[in-house]
Chain A
Amino acid sequence: MARWRVGVDSGGTFTDVCLFDEDDGRVEVWKVSSTPDDPSRGIAQGVEEGMRRVAPEATQPGAPITYFGHGTTVATNALIQHRGVKTGLVTTDGFRDLLEIGRQKRPDLYDMQADKPPTLVPRDLRFQVAERVRHDGRIDLALDEDAVRAAARALKAAEVKAIAVSFLYGFIRPEHEARAVAILREEMPEVFISAGHEIAPEFREFERLSTVVLNAYLGPVMRRYIERLTPRLRDLGMTATPHLTQSNGGVIGFGTAAAMPVRAVLSGPSTGVVGAQAIGELAGFPDLITFDMGGTSTDVALLNGGQCKLASEATVHGYPIKAPMLDIHTVGAGGGSIAYIDGGGLLKVGPRSCGADPGPVCYGRGNSEPATTDANVVLQTLNPEYLLAGRMKIDQSLAKASIAGMAERLGLGVMETAQGIISVVTANMARAIRVISIQRGYDPRDYTLMAFGGAGPLHAARLAIELDMKRVLVPRNPGILCAMGLLLTDLRADFAATRLMPATEASVTDVAAAFEGLVARAEEWFAHEEIAEGDRALTRTADIRYAGQNYELPVALPPGPVTAETIAALAAGFTESHRQRYGFIAEEEPIQLVTLRLEATGRVAKAKLASHPDAGLDATGAIIGKRDVWFPEAGGFVATPIYSRDALHPGNRFVGPAIVEQMDTTTVVLPGMTARVDSYLNLILEVAA
């Protein structure tokens, strides 16, 4: 029986399935509408339909699946829309306002009208209990268990669904937190509880508190999701362990993901970056700006030499999170974003989205507010009759009527208003790309725009013009690049232990012991993932600083057992790195080891993207029709050739205006742009010089 590896990316609007035959390297894709009320339904449906297509011989569709990787926007969307659960907090007496005060910095240095993001636990649900642990692990004041119990009862009466527990120094000595959690569990066994020492056992009480509160706030949402998805996959006959991508692009099991949703807030977007990285490298464009525009949100990231920056802490939608994550910028706008006229009479788009249900007006499911998709349907950049390669019938007249209503209020024509919606969307997207490029000192003109997600290729050409970028790369399967990314990445897990130690011979035994502990955890993980001995790799690093600094530099350990020479090499490596980075060293200052890290990589068979022979310049064989498409650049409707992406071959070349249709997306080629197909079937658009 064939063995299939399956990647599933579940977005707010569509669920993408990518299937990879381990034996012959074949890649197939399938796409279904998401089911936002219970995303697991759409996932199971997509996997079942996809598998039945590629492996009709299997008695149970899930049986041939050997690996299941999954990226989800469940946590992100709940955070963006503030749709987590009612959450309570139990913290050290005297510090209940810390969550609101933060670091005392205001949200914007100059804008006096700016606001902080909403505090996720209101003041009346923040309880403080007497207890005090000191920085050296001493207990100054024992935990007031009665106060914890009283808080538990009050939180129960308030019907919270989750509780965060975070005490000062809980990461140094967790007994008080653990005891408080136990008492809360006794009183409220069904409630989701997150504790600081488990979620973010690191120094700096506010950032830790913020992380724990977010974890609690999102916990029940993620748990409910996983609890529904797991049995559905089992019912399909799947026996492989399901995995989920974390914000750092690495992969974890469902169990860990359910307990640590805060590590998965960038789960969906990070898989897209991993996919873009692999495809960009093959196509010869390692310097990329990724533009992943879905139905509900859009993610952009910058890859320099194929690498996306990894942060150990980041602020996501205004909330600090201590967890490793790729440097991805998200905006709450996509193909499903709703256009409206604001109080000042200006046309705005998003962040409100119509989602998959009821969907845009043209779906005819009862929505009457026009979405970006409706504008594209009216402009006929999107097929005015069917979406998803004929699988979904739509009604252009409904879209037109809703935009006409808006046009009347604006005093504009219908087509101008539809085009206006696209212009506003393009400007919003350009602003997002400026954040990750120009604002960080990178010139977007030096990068290739890689467009994916269901709506990316539809808007990429205009976005490139807006940013003066010269090239757009549309991968072969842009609508499912995130899903494909899941099949192009090794399994990865990170293990860390924070132990303040001098970088001297005296620490040899402790460092060796700490790494033994980490290796044991990694071995356990390898075994659990059933990774063969030969496919396992471990990388050891130490975060090091001068005692007195608060930021560390990572230094790789030399191979072999930990000896006095190892420590000496670490100290030397740190000194060199410090000199390189800061231009000085402090010879008289003691060097301190802070965190020891072990990265475990399990090499897996990856989808192989095949190179295809050149089929010549002529692309006319791929033309499947013509339709009028509105191009203001050309003065209005232009009879435009429609190409079938499936029929385009390497070497084919054509000039815009043109529309390229495929099941998972539509690509717009503006008048004057040239399009060519490379040997990996990527479509490359170039702006005329």
Chain B
Amino acid sequence: MDTAVTTLDPITVEVIGAALSSIVEETGEALIRASYSTNIKERRDCSTALFDIAGNTLCQAEHIPIHLGSFIGIVPHILKLHDVAAMQPGDVFVGNDAYAGGGTHLPDIVLAEPIFVDGRIVAWTVNLAHHSDFADRGHQHIYQEGLRIPPVRLYRAGELQKDVLDLILLNCQVPRERLSDLRAQMAANRVGVQRFQALCRKYGTGVVLGAGAALLDYAERKMRAGIAAIPDGTWVFEDVFESTEVTTHLPLKVTVTVAGDAMSLHFDSPRQLRAGLNMTYTALLATAYYVVKSVVDPTILPNAGLARPLTITAPAGTVLNCTHPAAVNGRVQTCQRVSDLILGALAQAVPERVTACSNSVCTVATFIGQRKGDGPIWVYLETMGGGGGARATKDGLDGVHVHVTNTSNLPVEALETEYPLTLLRYELVEGSGGAGTFRGGMGLRRVYRADEDCRVRVDVSRLTSQSWGLLGGGPGGHGAVECGPGVVFERDNAELKAGQWFAIVSPGAGGYGPPAARSPAALARDLAEGTISAATAREVYRHTA
């Protein structure tokens, strides 16, 4: 058997690296195409990756950066809980737990399958789907948030373990979708296994594994070169987090130190809370990897090599590095704020590379209801983009997913066909982009009408704080919840009667540079398009025309 790890020419490494990317993209496509739930088939809230036998990420598909946090723990946990020698081709492990499974929150169910070549495990194909389930639960601690699944076999040597499946499905509110999406995840892993085996047949297993290792080294080299180009120093940045769930301002602080070709990031935050906003350490890692790669060099391959020059620390038991049994369902809100926190620190070193604060959250609405006549329960989850932070030379992007999320919206025509909801309006929020030489991106407003009775739970942030501008730029608009007549909104949820409406507004982003320096042509366009008001033009931008 060819297992010798050889020194490889750069073209072979590049070709295999691109082949690994294409495998994870293709497995992702299979997952999306075979799935049933709107959250996967249209919103693409899923990710795929390949790992080496030590659990290092070989390649992650360009889907959702935060999902890396739910991936990086699973292979080590499997190896801890199960005997490798007893594993067989066709074994598939399922897991989701934040503490015993390496996950970041329970709806992200991960399927991991060892890839065998010549009777030996050579790599792992792993995929994650955000199952839109475990809705309308409590978030005081993780036991309220859904079923905890440590990595266990869902398939043994290709044979479905029906007992395990039945146990999982009984704990889900929409079992038909869960079953179908789990099957789609199986389909995706099958593609991953076949393609990786074919790659090994073509180049030889030793060459493929050698290229995999070389690619990690390459990512590390590029990361180190990028960090070395940032001036040495220590930068501190602080912001607050508040949301519909926790309305008091929680102070968050990062200390970034650049020394030569290495970077350390230390995070301080309050003690973990009885709320869903806590982040596991893997969620913090995934967030920091994303931001630093984006600033240092967006083209660095998304593999484990890029993490080597980074040291990431936070006291255990705090909001940004929580421990059992903290609830974690809403961790993505906090991850988004942490992303901007790191940008705020790096802005002091390399202001031209970063953006002003984006909408800094992942606005979420989860609707849950039961079809008439004791029919099945339905759950509809959507996340909303908002403003993208203004850049050093141009405006921020309007109404986009930023940082660690990047899901697609569900087409209105799919939303209304599948659920008893009507979308009345879907628009940019005028005036919500922070003022500046370059304007912050605008937030979004979505107005829903319930066509049957249902409940809605939201995560909306920047209700009382605002996304910061840079170098004289102004802050972005607030997030908000708007209720139609008769709707009573309590803390973070409301009951909707058929015919009632309810709206969510996502925050705008911060501007970059002093507003008075904005070009008259850009201002004229803002006014014609109605993105800022005449009063703002006059009073904030000192526009005289």
Q: A residues within 8 A CB of B529?
A: 122-124
Q: B residues within 8 A CB of A583?
A: 186-187, 190
CB of B397 within 8 Å of the partner chain: yes
Interface string of B302-335 (1 = CB under 8 A from A): 0000000000000000000000000000000000
- Nearest CB to that of B176 among chain A residues? A548
Give the distance in Å from the alpha carbon of A168 to the alpha carbon of B42 in the complex: 17
Contact of B409 among A103, A443, A586 (CB under 8 A): A103
Give the distance in Å from the alpha carbon of A134 to the alpha carbon of B355 in the complex: 41
- Nearest CB to that of B398 among chain A residues? A100
Interface string of A65-108 (1 = CB under 8 A from B): 00000000000000000000000000001111110110111111
Contact of A101 among B18, B184, B398, B416 (CB under 8 A): B398
Shortest C-beta distance, B430 to chain A (Å), equals 10
CB of A135 within 8 Å of the partner chain: yes
Contact of B428 among A97, A106, A206, A440 (CB under 8 A): A97
B18, A438: Cβ atoms closer than 8 Å? yes
Contact of B391 among A94, A112, A134, A551 (CB under 8 A): A112
B406, A105: Cβ atoms closer than 8 Å? yes
Give the distance in Å from the alpha carbon of A582 to the alpha carbon of B190 in the complex: 7
Give the distance in Å from the alpha carbon of A586 to the alpha carbon of B177 in the complex: 12
Contact of B528 among A124, A168, A468 (CB under 8 A): A124
Interface string of A642-675 (1 = CB under 8 A from B): 0000000000000000000000000000000000
Shortest C-beta distance, B480 to chain A (Å), equals 18
Contact of B36 among A112, A203, A546, A581 (CB under 8 A): A546
CB of B530 within 8 Å of the partner chain: yes
Q: A residues within 8 A CB of B479?
A: none
How many positions in chain A have a CB within 8 Å of any CB in the partner chain? 52
B424, A94: Cβ atoms closer than 8 Å? yes
CB of A409 within 8 Å of the partner chain: no
CB of B264 within 8 Å of the partner chain: no
CB of B180 within 8 Å of the partner chain: yes
A551, B298: Cβ atoms closer than 8 Å? no
Main secondary structure, interface of A, reads loop
Shortest C-beta distance, A576 to chain B (Å), equals 15
Q: B residues within 8 A CB of A168?
A: 412-413
Shortest C-beta distance, B44 to chain A (Å), equals 9
Given A94-B425, A109-B62 in contact, is the A115-B397 Cβ separation under 8 Å? yes
A551, B33: Cβ atoms closer than 8 Å? yes
A101, B399: Cβ atoms closer than 8 Å? yes
Interface residues of A in 307-330 (CB under 8 A from B): none
A443, B15: Cβ atoms closer than 8 Å? yes
A441, B19: Cβ atoms closer than 8 Å? yes
B413, A439: Cβ atoms closer than 8 Å? no
Interface residues of B in 395-449 (CB under 8 A from A): 397-402, 406-409, 411-414, 416-417, 423-428, 444, 447
CB of B183 within 8 Å of the partner chain: yes
Q: A residues within 8 A CB of B14?
A: 438
Interface residues of A in 384-440 (CB under 8 A from B): 434, 438-440
Shortest C-beta distance, B205 to chain A (Å), equals 17
Give the distance in Å from the alpha carbon of A206 to the alpha carbon of B415 in the complex: 13
Q: B residues within 8 A CB of A108?
A: 298
Interface core residue of B354, B394, B406, B444 (most chain A CB under 10 Å): B406
- Nearest CB to that of A578 among chain B residues? B34
Give the distance in Å from the alpha carbon of A546 to the alpha carbon of B187 in the complex: 15
CB of B140 within 8 Å of the partner chain: no
B22, A135: Cβ atoms closer than 8 Å? no
Interface string of B164-194 (1 = CB under 8 A from A): 0000000000000000100110110010000
Q: B residues within 8 A CB of A113?
A: 391, 394
Interface residues of A in 184-227 (CB under 8 A from B): 203-206
B428, A100: Cβ atoms closer than 8 Å? yes
B294, A112: Cβ atoms closer than 8 Å? yes
Q: A residues within 8 A CB of B102?
A: none
B22, A205: Cβ atoms closer than 8 Å? no
Give the distance in Å from the alpha carbon of A571 to the alpha carbon of B186 in the complex: 22
CB of B465 within 8 Å of the partner chain: no
Interface residues of A in 110-139 (CB under 8 A from B): 110-113, 115-116, 122-124, 134-135
Q: A residues within 8 A CB of B423?
A: 94
Shortest C-beta distance, B87 to chain A (Å), equals 19
- Nearest CB to that of B190 among chain A residues? A583
CB of B35 within 8 Å of the partner chain: yes
Q: B residues within 8 A CB of A23?
A: none
Give the distance in Å from the alpha carbon of A97 to the alpha carbon of B35 in the complex: 29
Interface core residue of A98, A110, A116, A205 (most chain B CB under 10 Å): A110
CB of B150 within 8 Å of the partner chain: no
Shortest C-beta distance, A351 to chain B (Å), equals 19
B401, A582: Cβ atoms closer than 8 Å? no
Interface core residue of B14, B389, B414 (most chain A CB under 10 Å): B414
B298, A548: Cβ atoms closer than 8 Å? no
Shortest C-beta distance, B484 to chain A (Å), equals 15
Given A122-B529, A204-B413 in contact, is the A548-B180 Cβ separation under 8 Å? yes
Shortest C-beta distance, B4 to chain A (Å), equals 21
Shortest C-beta distance, A462 to chain B (Å), equals 16
Contact of B447 among A94, A205, A586 (CB under 8 A): A94
B18, A124: Cβ atoms closer than 8 Å? no
Given A108-B298, A583-B187 in contact, is the A116-B426 Cβ separation under 8 Å? no
Interface string of B286-311 (1 = CB under 8 A from A): 00001001110011000000000000
CB of A169 within 8 Å of the partner chain: yes
Give the distance in Å from the alpha carbon of A101 to the alpha carbon of B409 in the complex: 10
CB of A533 within 8 Å of the partner chain: no
CB of A37 within 8 Å of the partner chain: no
Interface residues of A in 561-584 (CB under 8 A from B): 578, 581-584
Contact surface of B with A, Cβ cutoff 8 Å: 11, 14-15, 18-19, 21-23, 26, 30, 32-36, 41-42, 62, 65, 180, 183-184, 186-187, 190, 195, 290, 293-295, 298-299, 354-355, 384-385, 388-389, 391, 394, 397-402, 406-409, 411-414, 416-417, 423-428, 444, 447, 525, 528-531
Ordered by A's residue number, 24 sampled pairs between the chains whose C-beta atoms are within 8 Å are A94-B447, A96-B427, A97-B426, A101-B399, A104-B385, A106-B385, A106-B406, A107-B397, A112-B355, A112-B388, A123-B530, A135-B417, A168-B412, A205-B413, A434-B18, A438-B14, A439-B22, A440-B22, A441-B18, A468-B11, A546-B36, A546-B180, A551-B32, A582-B190
**Beyond A112-B298, A115-B397, 12 extra complex contacts between A and B, CB < 8 Å:** A97-B399, A100-B399, A104-B400, A104-B444, A105-B401, A106-B402, A109-B65, A112-B354, A112-B388, A135-B413, A441-B195, A549-B33
